[in-house]
Amino acid sequence: MEKKKVLVLPGDGIGVDVCNAALPIFDVLALPIELSFGDIGWSCWENEGTPIPVRTWDQISKSDAVLLGAITSKGKDEAEKALPKELQNKNWQYVSPVIQLRQQLGLFANIRPAHYINGDREPFDLCVIRENTEGLYAGFDFKGIPENLDNFLTHPNIGVYGPKEVAWSVRLQTKHGLSRLFKKAFIYAEDHGLKRVTFADKPNVMRESGKFAKDIFFDIASNYPDITADIHNVDAVALWLVKKPHEFGVIVAENMFGDILSDLVAGVMGGLGVAPSANIGSDIAYFEPVHGSAPKMAGKGKANPCALFMSIALMLDYLGYPDHASRLEVAVKHVIKSRVALSYDFGGDATTVEVAKAIIDAYRNQTEGRTVAILTIGDELLSGKSINTNLSDLSQIAEHKGYSVVRQIVCSDSVGDIEQTISKLAGDVDYLVLSGGLGPTSDDRTRFAVAEVAKESLVFNDCSWRHIESRLTNFNVAVDESNRVQAMFPETAAILSNPIGTANGFSLNIYGTKVLVLPGPPAEAKYLLDKYLAEIVNASNSTNSYKWSIMGVSEGEVGTFFETTLKKYDLKLHYLWKYPYVQVEAILPKGHTVADSTLRTIRKEFGKLLISESGEKASEIVSRQNLGINWESNSESISKNISKELSAITSNKNINTTIHFEIYPSLSELLNNKIFTGDCWLVCHDDNGNKDSISFPCRGSEIQVFIKEYLCNFVLRLSESNIKDAVC
């Protein structure tokens, strides 16, 4: 396959930092993309008198896309001073390289999307599309009014110091430039499911150029009747973008207004650290973060690389890899939302490389980006009248399929409550699973709330109605008019057919979150989730995981040991405290392993307290092995209980070992004396002289679990290595 050629131009300042940190993503993407590197920016200007050397133009012309870090732009005087002596006074002009690229490559549209990432606000999904070649950036920027124009450019202020002491700029608007821009804006809206295109301009002041542009805008808009087209003053748009960004779709604007609005929406999204851009219009597109080169921050490892990753995602989409693009975008959002690694601008202290590494990890580990929230709906659940089994059952199904359940929520039947909860979660998780409230009665409001948040109306579905009628008739239940509501679904919803119940479920996208709406009856909800939540392909194959179950050691101690011992590995550690175990899981990228010597260090550290390397409990392993064991203990009834439990997991046929165990102080003393908080002792032995003992903190009745597990551990060690005198 022909490889796509991407030219990387890191540029200046933090542009270099973010490129160095982010480029390893291309190894993980493993796409047919060939990277090459070129020079651009301030150092080229300083050394060669041009920020884009001829060789770089040549490289650009041979590329499919260009990825830019950031470039320093300075004013006229500073630029002149930065040149070596021999290049000064030649009247060389520093022209912003990005403007040169946009104008010379004919990249007339600057696409600057802004999505909701996190925070307590209504999710939004909008895009500023900025004209990129003309407007106030056309280059008509002059000092002094020439004589032949002094009759034309008149203003009372000019006369005060005379026409030489004047500077003036022209906002160029051409029919060609505006038509192609507006067309692009509507096509973008169509392609991205955005229903509104707003032209932000200033026709009340710029009367001619404003009216000219407005007429062209509405002319183009008439070809897109399904999209709302409106024009507003740019200052008002700025205000409403801050207050209600969720009400916008595409905002299209001339060059300067677009420059300002795109920084504003970047701020609404979280800052320039996350704002990407795509410059498109001809055969070669270029992609860059909206932020600049921030020279003072360069080399300090502080810059946020998220915007570059988001720009890479836009580039992947452009090059024909939309799935990779959206996975990368999800990975960036995941790292920010889960606070795995945050740079200073998001209130954290992670370095550029740490943030980049977290994003690459999140991308690699497919499950990381597959977050699920479960929302169960019903007053009866809140009041406790019904046991909410759906919450745990649906979570288990999702986890089993490789997803990560990050929220469990219960809310009332009120439309307002449901709407508010959905709005908070949409855009924040990859999947939102709702159950309950799809029935025919007045307290079943879920479909109304979902439609309201999705801004869609409910439409009647014949096929679902026939299903309802036939089910009710089969069960000899009269078909009631009230059932018709169960056949109403939001316009864009896909219906999830439910052969085991009356109410079909449905699914639709809200702010990038896939929402699955399921009926409340547990059997139906479980059936539908299992059927419609896809298995994550290769979820378990994409990583390599190690597990350890350790007993009798505090979680803190275990944590410190593992963090230190596994420090050099590229992995994620998870701890689960399940008395009397601390279960540790280390997840490594596929193909990565923990060295045998490290595994031996772990075994040595915990010795007999390392119960399994599979995540299983000792009692689970013993019960699987069906060992014939006779359990003997002192005559106390509590000990007898433990023996009974142990006998239940071992076999009482073909007995080949008797295990004796005793506990000091006696169990009844321990359990009845509530103030006893010291250590207790377990001593055990078999008939062959193998013995063991351990002291452990007394935790009331829980120590029975400890004793049971420890004795199973003893049995396992006996059968494995026939240990003698394992007394600690």
Which residues in this chain contact ligand IPM in the complex, by CB under 6 A? 73, 96, 98-99, 259, 290, 292
Interacting residue with Mg ion among 12, 64, 259, 430 (CB under 5 A): 259
Tell me the closest approach of the beta carbon of residue 312 to ligand IPM, in angstroms: 17
- Give the integer Cα–Cα distance in Å for 636 and 540: 47
Q: How far apart are CA 655 and CA 663, in angstroms?
A: 24
Of 486, 488, 500, 508, the residue nearest 531 (C-alpha): 500
Helix 389-400 vs helix 522-532: crossing angle, to nearest 10: 20
Minimum distance between the CB of residue 416 and Mg ion, rounded to whole angstroms? 40
Q: Are strands 657-664 and 629-633 parallel, antiparallel or unpaired?
A: parallel
* Dihedral over Cα of 45, 49, 54, 55: its sign: negative
Burial class of residue 325, CB neighbours in 10 A (0-12, 13-18, 19+): buried
Q: Taking the complex as a whole, how short is the minimal distance between the CB of residue 46 and ligand IPM, in angstroms?
A: 17
Give the residue among 406, 426, 418 at the shortest CA–CA distance from 381: 418
Show the site string, 525-564: x = touches Mg ion by CB under 5 A, - = not: ----------------------------------------
* Number of residues engaging Mg ion in binding (CB under 5 A): 1
Q: Which range, of 106-114, 251-259, 593-601, 713-721, touches Mg ion by CB under 5 A?
A: 251-259
Stretch that binds Mg ion, among 44-52, 196-204, 257-265, 710-718 (CB under 5 A): 257-265
Q: Residue 665, preceding bond cis, omega within 30 degrees?
A: yes
Helix and strand numbers, DSSP H then E, in the chain: 26, 28
Whole-number minimum distance, CB 130 to Mg ion, in Å? 9
Minimum distance from residue 178 beta carbon to ligand IPM (Å): 18
Contact criterion met (CB below 8 Å) for 589 and 365: yes
Select from Mg ion, ligand IPM, none the partner in contact with residue 99, using the beta carbon and a kind-dependent cut-off of 5 to 8 Å.
Answer: ligand IPM
Q: Which is nearer to ligand IPM, 66 or 515 (CB)?
A: 66
Question: Considering CB distances under 5 to 8 angstroms, the limit depending on partner class, which of ligand IPM, Mg ion, none binds residue 704?
Answer: none
Binding partner of residue 73 among Mg ion, ligand IPM, none, CB under 5 to 8 Å per kind?
ligand IPM
Query: In the complex, what is the shortest distance from the CB of residue 259 to ligand IPM, in angstroms, rounded to a whole number?
Result: 5
Query: Interface with Mg ion by CB under 5 A: which range of 136-144, 252-260, 400-408, 490-498?
Result: 252-260
If the CB atoms of residues 99 and 723 are measured against ligand IPM, the closer one turns out to be 99
Query: Given the complex with ligand IPM, which of 106 and 440 has the nearer CB atom?
Result: 106
Q: Select 145 or 308, whichever has its Cβ closest to ligand IPM.
A: 308
Please calculate the CA angle 102-56-4 and round it to the nearest 5 degrees.
Answer: 80
Q: How far is the CB of 33 from ligand IPM (least distance, A)?
A: 24
Q: Which does 98 bind (CB under 5 to 8 A by kind): ligand IPM, Mg ion, none?
A: ligand IPM
For 148, list phi and psi in degrees, rounded to 5: -65, -10
Rounded to the nearest whole angstrom, what is the least distance from the CB of residue 277 to ligand IPM in the complex?
7
List the single partner that 96 binds among Mg ion, ligand IPM, none, CB under 5 to 8 Å by kind.
Answer: ligand IPM
User: Residue 259 Cβ, how far from Mg ion at the closest point, in Å?
Assistant: 4
CB-nearest residue to Mg ion: 259
Q: Which is nearer to ligand IPM, 290 or 451 (CB)?
A: 290
Which residues 6+ apart lie within 8 Å of 610 measured at CB? 548, 549, 550, 602, 603
292 vs 589, which CB is nearer to Mg ion?
Answer: 292
Distance between CA atoms of residues 391 and 39, nearest Å: 56
Q: Work out what residue 627 binds among ligand IPM, Mg ion, none; the CB cut-off runs from 5 to 8 Å by kind.
A: none
Kindly tell me which of 42 and 661 has the beta carbon lying closer to ligand IPM.
Answer: 42
Closer of 264 and 587 to Mg ion (Cβ): 264
Which range of residues in 135-143, 243-251, 253-261, 693-701 is near Mg ion by CB under 5 A? 253-261
* Contact partner, 509, from Mg ion, ligand IPM, none, Cβ < 5-8 Å per class: none
**17 vs 259, which CB is nearer to Mg ion?**
259
Give the separation between CA 708 and CA 694, rounded to whole angstroms.
13
Task: Give yes or no for a contact between 693 and 659, defined as CB atoms under 8 angstroms apart.
Answer: no
3-state secondary structure of 302: coil
How distant, in Å, are the alpha carbons of 20, 372, 518, 576 from that of 433? 39, 7, 7, 25
Q: At what angle do helices 306-318 and 322-337 cross, to 10 degrees?
A: 160
Closest-by-Cβ residue to ligand IPM is: 96
| Tokens at 142, concatenated | 């002059």
Nearer residue to ligand IPM within complex by CB, 103 or 583: 103
Cα→Cα distances 472→465, 468, 478, 499, Å: 11, 6, 7, 12
Distance CA 49, CA 33 (A): 32
* CB nearer ligand IPM, residue 303 or residue 508: 303
Q: What are the b/e assignments for 343-352, b being 16+ CB within 10 Å?
A: bebbebebbb
Measured from the CB atom, the residue of 292 and 522 that comes closer to ligand IPM is 292
The CB-of-311 to ligand IPM minimum distance in angstroms stands at 12
Contact 332, 355 (CB under 8 A): no
CB of 258 to Mg ion, least distance (A): 9
Non-local CB neighbours of 711 within 8 Å, separated by 6+ positions: 631, 642, 646, 659, 661, 682, 684
Binding site for Mg ion (CB under 5 A): 259
